[in-house]
Amino acid sequence: MPKKIPAYGAPAAKALLVPMTIERRDPGSRDVEIQILYCGICHSDVHKVDNDWGGTHFPVVPGHEIVGRVVGRGANVSKFHEGDLVGVGCLVDSCRECPECRAGHEMFCDRDATWSFDSLERDGKSWTWGGYSSRMVVDESFVLRMPKDLDPARAAPLLCAGITTYSPLRQFGCTRGSQVGVVGLGGLGHMAVKIAAAMGAEVTVLSSSGGKEKDALRLGAKHFLCTKDPGALDASQGKFDLLIDTVSAPHDMDALSALLRSFGTLVLVGLPPAPTPVNVTGLVHGNKRVAGSNIGGIAETQEMLDYCGQHGIVADIELIRADQINEAYRRMGSGDVRYRFVIDTSTFGT
């Protein structure tokens, strides 16, 4: 019998989130049943509820930065035991056979990945429900081991904000002495600062909020530029090896690519709803690159968690109750987040 689970979700586009009851399948032979403890709020959850990208299937229960304890497991589960602290990110399944899956890029599965919410299950019929809920059932291959020494509430955002910034920093060669700029100091941005600094980069934060300077330096940045100050970027033209752009709203990409040195890369991880024009000439003169990066596969996510465990990297969070989710969404819409809201899911009931 499927279990009835308390959750929070949006009944329609741009609606307030309300308490809901969802059903989860009984654990199959390779499934892990997880009591969710904490779930971060990523701006992608907000985009989905607002239907910014189109195609959201309502009602929707968001949430893909999930930390919890194993409370049940199928007969053939080998990696996890009851009581283990585990994580679930954006991915909960994929075909596991196509070249993308075999290469560890499950998010690009040729037969479509199954995302942790608002996605079709492998049966092609039922929809997934995310982590704003108190229990979840996930195939063990998509469950991550949480490092023991990290505060679980503060580690939850690693499951999306952590991997989404770790992956491009690794892909595009961030190393000791690299000049790295992080654009937008929100959930993703503040993780990018911490991880790039741990990798030995000299980090500059480029923020539209002048009031975030002190925090940027505390998080590990060496320099801070307020993008709204006239002339603030003038002295940094041609400076950066790598820019990680996490901004969730439309903004001027040309002003950013001008800051790259030759052969430098502007990596877009933010997903503004509207298309953004790019001046090709500015890129050609300097062999500059504009790239995108989408989360990271399961093996790389485990690598990132282990790296953060070794370096003591966690998010700066505001821990909230279920009844504060709508206020958190409102604040994220105006860039007012310091630096990740995390829901204490014990406030949903059991």
> Within 311-350, which residues bind ligand NAP (CB under 6 A)?
332, 335, 337
Distances (CA, A) of 214 to 180, 211, 225, 318: 18, 7, 12, 18
Closest contact distance (angstroms) between CB of 217 and ligand NAP is 14
* Residue 42 in contact with Zn ion, rule: CB under 5 A: yes
Q: Choosing among Zn ion, ligand NAP, none, which partner's interface includes residue 249 (Cβ < 5 to 8 Å by kind)? A: ligand NAP
Of the chain, the end-to-end C-alpha distance in Å amounts to: 17
- Copy the structure tokens of residue 162: 């952590």
- Single residue of 46, 71, 95, 120 touching Zn ion by CB under 5 A: 95
Q: How far is the CB of 253 from ligand NAP (least distance, A)?
A: 13
Write the CA distances from 264 to 193, 243, 310, integer angstroms. Answer: 18, 8, 29
Size of the chain in residues = 350
The piece of 3-11, 19-27, 246-254, 256-264 that touches ligand NAP (CB under 6 A) is 246-254
Q: Which helix H or strand E contains 311, and what residues bound it?
A: helix 298-311
Q: Residue 152 Cβ, how far from Zn ion at the closest point, in Å?
A: 18
Q: Say how far apart CA 264 and CA 237 lie, in whole Å.
A: 12
Residue with tokens 């790295």: 180
Among 248, 265, 301, 345, binds ligand NAP (CB under 6 A): 248
**Closest-CA residue to 343 (of 33, 111, 24, 36):** 36
Q: Which is nearer to Zn ion, 38 or 240 (CB)?
A: 38
Q: Which of 33, 66, 94, 259 binds Zn ion (CB under 5 A)?
A: 94
244 contributes a contact to ligand NAP by CB under 6 A: no
Strand partners, 20: 7
Rounded CA-CA distance 264/269 in Å is: 16
CB of 131 to ligand NAP, least distance (A): 14
Q: How far is the CB of 339 from ligand NAP (least distance, A)?
A: 7
Residue 158 sits in the site that holds ligand NAP (CB under 6 A):
no
CA distances from residue 206 to 178, 180, 271, 287 in whole angstroms, order as listed? 16, 10, 17, 22
Looking at 171, 209, 236, 347, which residue binds ligand NAP (CB under 6 A)? 209
95 binds, among Zn ion, ligand NAP, none (CB under 5 to 8 A by kind): Zn ion
Interface with ligand NAP (CB under 6 A), residue total: 29
- Give the nearest residue (CB) to ligand NAP: 186
Q: Are 274 and 143 in contact (CB under 8 A)?
A: no
Q: Is 208 near ligand NAP (CB under 6 A)?
A: yes
Q: Which residues contact 85 (CB under 8 A, 6 or more apart)?
A: 67, 68, 69, 146, 148, 152
User: Which amino acid, residue 115?
Assistant: W
Closest CB to Zn ion among residues 34, 161: 161
**Which residue in 109, 199, 225, 253 binds Zn ion (CB under 5 A)?**
109
Interface residues with Zn ion (CB under 5 A) are 42, 44, 94-95, 98, 101, 109, 160
Interface residues with ligand NAP (CB under 6 A) are 42-44, 47, 160, 164, 184-189, 207-209, 212, 246-249, 269-271, 293-295, 332, 335, 337
